[in-house]
Amino acid sequence: MIKVSNKTSKIFRPEYALLWTIPLAFLTLFYFYPLATILGKSLVGINNFSQLLDLVRQPYVAKTLWFTIWQATLSTILTLAIGLPGAYLLAHYNFWGKNILRAITAIPFVLPTVVVAASFTSTLGPNGWINRALMNWLNLETAPIILNHTLWAILIAHVFYNTTIILRLVGDYWTLMDPKLIQAARCLGATRLKAFLGITLPLLTPAIVSAALLVFIFDFTSFGVILILGGPIFSTLEVAIYRQTINFFDLEMAALLSVIQLMCTLGLTVLYARFTRKTHRPLKTNRLPSISRQQLNWKTRISVGILIAILIIVLVVPLITLAFSSVFKFEPDRGERENASTGFTLKYYRELFINRRHSIFFVTPIETIIFSLRNATITMISALAIGLPTTWILARKTRLAQMLEPILMLPLGTSAVTLGLGFLLVFSRSPFNMRTSSLLIPLAHTLVAFPFVVRSLLPSWTIINPQLRKAAAMLGANPIQVWREIDLPIIGRAILVAGAFAFTISIGEFGATILLSRPEFTTVPMAIYRYLSLPGALNYGQAMALSTLLMIFCGTSIFCIEAIRPNAISEF
């Protein structure tokens, strides 16, 4: 790469310093101040290290930490068990509909956590399609498979959620591997197994480890899935922070758990970054190989078929059952006569506009949709307003920028529930009492979206070569024309992508929202969460309808993001 010397950036310019104040002021008030408050709370009355150690050794804390690690480990292993054969399939075989399968399998990963819980419920829940089918088939009175509030529910939902990461990260890397390496090993006398163990596996290991670490991080910080599907028995750090805050008002304990959570995720993120760098080692000495055009024998055809079927069952079927559940009525409503209709219905979508008298909400579902859209719009605007100056100064790579970059990326390692807790601690009392302000939720969303916005925008700023601007200026363009002709077209797409990310993240955000929402400020994920926890076919159907709408929205949005992204590299 050519290093462009950019001497002008070294000179101190007051207007750049002014630009710095925008992100720094925002982060200080909405991130560091709440975080410091959490730290202060967790360290109340702590004078030395052994006291701190005692705090962590409390049975409740130790038990929660242990379960968090345990379920994340199990989930990661299961995800690898499904994802690695899938990655092999996508990297080695061409089959009809491969691109469609690849695109659809990306959807679960971008779904809001409540929608994942809803699609699990629609598939494997007590009223799910599998239990319905078994009850019909075997003439049973009650559902034969009860997974809700078991560890299995959590594990299956996590596999559904995160298999995409393995498929993409390992699969894409595997595609790059030269098939000649294996052929060379075979000609040198290695059996299929030895060639796999001696060549394929060692070459894939960095990709597998970094993908597995990423899955582990997501499972470790999983909140909605465990809260909704795990029930009251299971508590990870995230869920425990929430319960200590909302149910037991033990803010010191919540703060302590948040600090432990923060340490763990930061450690894991650093580890992940280190392994990701290793995957940049070239897999081949030159040239891109192509997928073999070999005709497949029947044995291979059958195994390929089985692998495709597994991917469809795990990743696609839950999406379909969710959509079906939103337009299908299994049992008559309360108050309806016995001859009442079951079958296809749009009732649950019509109900979105109706406020039933027995509803415990103050707002109708359609109002939650409007509130969510409003939040998302505010989030998008504020995240871009802070993200644009931040990335512009980061791209200048001054010494100050290099020093401040890790600080600006810190919110990435902070869980949404922790952010919510910090907001709750700071903004529900003077001097910044905003507890009743409807801006609190979109502000929290802005913090959640901020790192994603920065990562979408930064590469575009860095590819705008200063020589381009100079060349344009030499050709007679004034500064405004330079900006319009050079900067805007390049950065424009990145702004679209970053905005779409911020909007989508806000629409689906659950962890911070649940701590900050009030009955009059209910977002769509909050409404789904409440409907799911209430009995009755109508509540169930409404949860499915809202979840289906969210699924369609997030699926569409991720397709658009992939389509307009400047260079479509799958990255998380």
Partner 1 sequence: MLEIIDISKSFGSIEALSRISFSVAKGEIIAILGPSGCGKSTLLSITAGLIGPDTGMIRWNGVSLTNVPPHLRNFGLMFQDNALFPHRNVFGNVAFGLKQLQMKPEAIDKQVSAILNIVGMRDLADRDVLSLSGGEQQRVALARTIAPNPRLLMLDEPLGSLDRNLREQLLHELRQILTDLEQTVIYVTHDQDEAFAIADRVVIMNTGKLIQIGRPRDIYAHPASTFVARFLGLTNILETSVVSVDTNNRVKISENSLIPISQPPPKHMKHPRILIRPRGAQLSEHGTLSGILTNVSFRGALVDLKIIVSNGLQLRFEVPTPSIIPKIGTKINLTLPEDASIWIEDDSL
Residues that bind partner 1 (CB under 8 A): 178, 180-181, 183-191, 194, 198-199, 202-203, 281-287, 293-294
Six token digits for residue 236: 């990870």
Residues 351, 541 contacting (CB under 8 angstroms) = yes
Angle at 199 between CA 194 and CA 201, to 5 degrees: 90
Sequence-ordered strand ranges (E) for 151-225: none
Contacts for 177 with CB less than 8 Å, ≥ 6 apart: 91, 200, 203, 204, 283, 284, 289
Spatial distance between the Cα atoms of 277 and 471, rounded to a whole number of angstroms: 35
Spatial distance between the Cα atoms of 557 and 563, rounded to a whole number of angstroms: 10
Least Cα distance to 314 among 516, 494, 104, 474 occurs for 104
Q: Give me the least distance between CB of 571 and partner 1, in Å please.
A: 23
Place of tokens 């960095």: 206
For residue 102, the surrounding DSSP H or E stretch is: helix 98-104
Q: Give me the least distance between CB of 201 and partner 1, in Å please.
A: 10
Place of tokens 């001497």: 7
Residues 502, 89 contacting (CB under 8 angstroms) = no
| Biggest CA pair distance of the chain | 82
Six token digits for residue 267: 């450690």
HSE, CB side, 13 Å, CA atoms: give it for residue 483: 3
Contacts for 33 with CB less than 8 Å, ≥ 6 apart: 426
Q: Please list the helix, strand and coil fractions of the chain in percent, rounded to the nearest 5, in that order.
A: 75, 0, 25
Residues 440, 379 contacting (CB under 8 angstroms) = no
Q: How far is CA 20 from CA 29, 33, 480, 483, in A?
A: 14, 18, 22, 20
Q: How far is CA 126 from CA 288, 322, 526, 535, in A?
A: 49, 14, 22, 12
Nearer to partner 1, 286 or 339 (CB): 286
HSE, CB side, 13 Å, CA atoms: give it for residue 369: 15
Q: How far is CA 206 from CA 203, 397, 494, 567, in A?
A: 7, 29, 29, 23
Question: Burial level of 494, CB count in 10 A (0-12/13-18/19+)?
Answer: buried
Exposure string for 42-61, b = 16+ CB within 10 A, e = fewer: bbeeeeeeeeeeebeeeeeb
Spatial distance between the Cα atoms of 115 and 322, rounded to a whole number of angstroms: 9
Six token digits for residue 211: 């993908």
